[in-house]
Amino acid sequence: RDIAGSNTASNVTGLDGVGGVGSAYLLAVGNEPASSTKVHAWRSDDNSTSWDDESKRPTGGTYFVGQALASVVVADDYADSGEAWVATTGDDCAISRTTTYGKYFNQISLIKTVISNIIDLAVSPDWGSSGALFMITRESSAPPVLYVEGDDLWRHDGDYWERVYHESLLSGAFDSMDYVQVSPEWVDDDTVCFVDSGADQAYRSTNGGDHFSKTLSKVPESAYGWLVIDKNTRIVGVDGGTRLTKNNATTWGGKKGA
């Protein structure tokens, strides 16, 4: 049967695991057999009886069928640590690492990107002790060298940088990341948010940036600035006034001129 589920299609280009027959922990990577392919990962903890796909995939891919190849290596203690590495090719390729059995991937090395501009920077309240901060960068191209532009969200843990999000993980054709902020209660709630201004959409992570979820509703109007109060409360500056949400953008209040 297909590893991605019934009535689906996927090409498996890499497979690794630990354990013995009947008790194997497996991690597979591959791509979509489509005109614009993306790399995906699937994990199994029941000897391949069932497979779950990733919540945040490794970056990488190509516009040519069969070229988005990926390989995977799991740690010797993968069954306990959930640590593995995936190498990809094509656009936005990198060495991606997971410590969640292939559920979330961040890029740690050999990242195919160009930093042309720093768009925004957010420092955690405990930066003095943890060194934690987030940064959005933008890559841009100019003739004669042309390539797909993209935004990156980076996280620094006090020692190392890693890319925790890339524009290719957003759904729209003109999406971009423009504002990032860390919750003032970061030490307790591990919350960081960013705004996709191309789609007037906000994203939130409550696990320190490993996974971002799209908010239920969009920002009502184009945002020109915003302020994160806590994990659920944000104020957004729009034309002529502000908008307020107290429930993680389930609903918005406020009005222009207020």
Tell me the pLDDT tens digit for each residue of 199-243.
788 899 999 999 999 888 888 777 788 899 999 999 988 888 888
> What CATH number does residue 119 fall under?
2.130.10.10
pLDDT tens for residues 95-106?
999 999 999 999
Cα–Cα nearest to 189, from 128, 131, 231, 129: 231
- Cα–Cα distances in angstroms (integers) from residue 147 to residues 92, 166, 171, in the given order: 11, 15, 19
Cα–Cα nearest to 28, from 57, 61, 63, 62: 57
Among the candidates 85, 112, 139, a domain finishes at 112
Contact yes or no for 258/226 (Cβ under 8 A)? no
Looking at the fold, whether 132 and 237 belong to one and the same domain comes out as yes
The secondary structure of residue 101, as a DSSP letter, is: T
Looking at the fold, whether 54 and 122 belong to one and the same domain comes out as no
Residue 233 burial class via C-beta count within 10 angstroms: exposed 0-12, middle 13-18, buried 19 and up: middle
pLDDT tens for residues 29-41?
988 766 557 889 9
Looking at the fold, whether 19 and 130 belong to one and the same domain comes out as no
User: What pLDDT, on the 0 to 100 scale, is given for residue 2?
Assistant: 61
Sign of CA dihedral 12, 67, 54, 132: positive
Looking at the fold, whether 78 and 119 belong to one and the same domain comes out as no
Highest mean pLDDT pick, 9-23, 63-77, 131-145: 9-23
> Which range has the worst mean pLDDT, 80-84, 196-200, 233-237?
196-200
CA distance 38 to 64: 10
Sign of CA dihedral 51, 167, 183, 220: negative
Among the candidates 112, 130, 164, a domain finishes at 112
The residue-averaged pLDDT of 172-197 equals 86
Q: Is the peptide bond before 144 cis (omega within 30 degrees of 0)?
A: yes
Looking at the fold, whether 150 and 229 belong to one and the same domain comes out as yes
Query: Is residue 8's pLDDT more than 80?
Result: no
> Which range has the worst mean pLDDT, 77-81, 113-117, 144-148?
144-148
Query: Is residue 258's pLDDT more than 50?
Result: no
Model-level pTM greater than 0.85? yes
Percent of the residues in the chain that have a pLDDT greater than 90, as a whole number: 52
CA distance 199 to 176: 8
Which residues constitute the domain of residue 175? 115-258
Contact yes or no for 10/31 (Cβ under 8 A)? yes
Question: Binning pLDDT at 50, 70 and 90, where does residue 28 land?
Answer: very high
User: What pLDDT, on the 0 to 100 scale, is given for residue 65?
Assistant: 58
pLDDT tens for residues 45-61?
998 888 999 999 999 87
Q: How many residues comprise the chain?
A: 258
Which tokens is 240 given?
Answer: 């002529």
Beta strand extents in 129-169 (DSSP E only): 132-139, 150-157, 161-166
